[in-house]
Amino acid sequence: MERFEHHIFTALCSINILISCLLFSKITREQRDPYMDELFHVPQAQKYCEGKFHEWDPMITTLPGLYLASVGLIKPVVWLSDLKGKIVCSTAMLRFINLLFNTGNLYIIYLIISRLHPKSQFAARRMLSSLTLSTFPVLYFYTFLYYTDAGSTFFTLFMYLMALYGSHKTAALLGICAILFRQTNIIWVAFCAGTVVAQKLDESWRTELSKKRDEKSLSQVPLTISGSMRVIRFLLDFVRTANNIKYVVLSTWPYIVLAAGFLFFIVLNNGIVVGDRSSHEACLNFPQIFYFLSFTLIFSLPTSLSYQRVVKFFQSLRKQPLTYLILMIIFLVLIWKFTFVHKYLLADNRHYPFYVWKRIFQRQDLVRFLLIPGYVFAMWNFLDTLKHKSLFWYLAFCVCLVLATIPQKLLEFRYFILPYLLYRIHLPLPSLLRLMLEFGLYTVVNAAALYIFLYKTFKWPDSNDAQRFMW
């Protein structure tokens, strides 16, 4: 059975690679020159190909993981052929690196899903889930351009896979690679460590419940003041026990060493951003979490939403009206006092968020407040779909999600790729029908995005270059 599944999955991978190569060829023919951020990434990678590792474009804000990986994959081609480095390190060849990462992402996602959902009768669903998530529209679009997203996703998911298998030293090494692609991946390194701690907390909690003969599971702790205080008291007792702390340190020391090294980098670099920092300032942009939840609700509609879940939400609303009223007031204050708008969001009409902001949020000042009920439902749906996870895993993921989204001033859908994928792979495996609907949704969105990018070009008044729409 496993061999048959392997053969089927190999065939799916081959079809995916073939279609992606055909799309890659078309996109590269239409857009031969570097576009958008490629104007910085491509020349920098070409310098690395020439061995000029001491030269750095100050406009680049990420570490050189993408360029190092490109050189590591391309240089052997140079050595084994008569081609010159500049020809091999062309824009098209550099973009092709991300096509390789996309193939890797498909396989890594499949391995993670197989680890999380190992039952053999779910083989078809595991394969279709993996194929679908590897074509997640925002990620898949940047597969065809020389951006950091495909590589960043690959190494972060690879790190998480190793953490799931308990290979934490390997996971930490892969975490270094992930950080070299994007510094904010340190948050997902912390998540890997958090899952280890959560596992120990789960064991201690179950031990405590068995002593008290309490049959409630971790996911059934009531979301009340008394329930919260119960969890806080348990955590305080946990950290007071020397054996618990010793276990946590011994289990997570590779991540602790990596975190210490990253802290040293921040001190040495005087911040997390390298290069130009003027457009990458951290802030408490609390509405970012609402944008992410809305984004997640839309893309997970086929797999997460159902009539029964909507009914369940309204039942919850009827049972706890005061709780939801307080929640809406909190959301209102956060939106009122902590909404930040990046200059790029208002000025760059090549990105879809520009039009989302212009046609929804800027249409009327009250719109951002009228959307609060939708945010509440999106948050409830997000949490309810993960209710099968333990409380402490829940907390670890939510803390990392907040850290990954709220400090970002710019509304950029690329920042949502990793948290969305980590959310989606932990959902219970949907039915084949729902997975087919999800795959259909992603295919339609991908086809539309690529068609618009290729054929709906426009020009700015002060430039003769063709401008293209993108995520």
How long a stretch of residues is the chain?
471
Q: For 154-164, what is each residue's pLDDT tens digit?
A: 999 999 999 99
424, 418 in Cβ contact below 8 A? no
Closest CA to 133 of 393, 423, 405: 423
Residue 3's region, left for phi above 0, alpha for psi from -120 to 50, else beta, is alpha
pLDDT for 142 beyond 60: yes
DSSP 128-183: HHHHHHHT-HHHHHGGGTT-SHHHHHHHHHHHHHHHHTT-HHHHHHHHHHHHHH-G
Closest CA to 200 of 149, 151, 248: 248
Residue range 389-416: mean pLDDT, rounded? 93
pLDDT for 320 beyond 60: yes
Distant-in-sequence, close-in-space partners of 338: CB < 8 Å, separation ≥ 6 = 284, 285, 286, 287
Alpha-carbon distance 306 to 385, whole Å?
A: 11
Distant-in-sequence, close-in-space partners of 471: CB < 8 Å, separation ≥ 6 = 137, 138, 141, 142, 351, 352, 413, 414, 449
Output the CA torsion 186→187→190→191 (10° steps): -130
The predicted structure's pLDDT at residue 318: 93
Q: For 404-462, what is each residue's pLDDT tens digit?
A: 999 999 999 999 999 999 999 999 999 999 999 999 999 999 999 999 999 999 988 88
pLDDT tier at 214, thresholds 50, 70, 90: low
Alpha-carbon distance 449 to 458, whole Å?
A: 15
pLDDT for 85 beyond 60: no
Residue entry with tokens 């009539």: 307
pLDDT for 43 beyond 60: yes
34, 468 in Cβ contact below 8 A? no
Q: For 18-37, what is each residue's pLDDT tens digit?
A: 999 999 999 999 999 999 99
